């Protein structure tokens, strides 16, 4: 992963200021000390696409009479997950907001 501010590669082992709540994470870049975060909307889309696609895929295999509906929904969930994964980039935030929630 790269810092969108200084474009240096960030090693997870070098990150020393980190706040995590669930899938959300906020951390400071070890090179430029700018706070970075991922986007909650894309994380939600990734989770919904992944589990929705898996459930529809398994259901279309077991309930073959609904296969014409469930299989395209499963494929759509996979496409949503891949697009959300590609769109999910780190962005610069002014100050950590999870700091108050973690404590």
Interface positions with Zn ion (CB under 5 A): 3, 5-6, 29, 31-32
CB of 85 to Zn ion, least distance (A): 22
CB of 8 to Zn ion, least distance (A): 5
In the bound state with Zn ion, the residue whose beta carbon lies nearer, of 31 and 38, is: 31
- Separation in Å, CA 66 to CA 52, 71, 80, 91, 98: 15, 8, 21, 41, 43
In the bound state with Zn ion, the residue whose beta carbon lies nearer, of 39 and 67, is: 39
The structure tokens 């969108």 sit at: 4
Number of neighbouring beta carbons within 10 Å of residue 36: 22
CB of 69 to Zn ion, least distance (A): 46
In the bound state with Zn ion, the residue whose beta carbon lies nearer, of 70 and 90, is: 90
**Separation CA 3–CA 14 (nearest Å):** 13
Residue 98 contacts residue 20 (beta carbons within 8 Å): yes
In the bound state with Zn ion, the residue whose beta carbon lies nearer, of 26 and 77, is: 26
**Separation CA 53–CA 85 (nearest Å):** 14
CB of 84 to Zn ion, least distance (A): 24
């Amino acid at each position: 992963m790269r810092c969108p501010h200084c474009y240096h590669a960030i090693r997870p082992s070098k990150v020393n200021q980190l706040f995590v709540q669930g899938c959300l994470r906020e951390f400071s870049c070890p090179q430029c000390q700018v706070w970075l975060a991922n986007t909650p909307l894309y994380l939600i889309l990734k989770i919904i696409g992944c589990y929705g696609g898996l459930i529809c895929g398994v259901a279309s295999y077991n309930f073959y009479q609904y296969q014409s509906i469930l299989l395209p929904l499963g494929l759509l969930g996979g496409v949503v997950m891949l697009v959300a994964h590609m769109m999910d980039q780190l962005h610069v935030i002014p100050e950590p907001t999870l700091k108050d929630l973690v404590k």
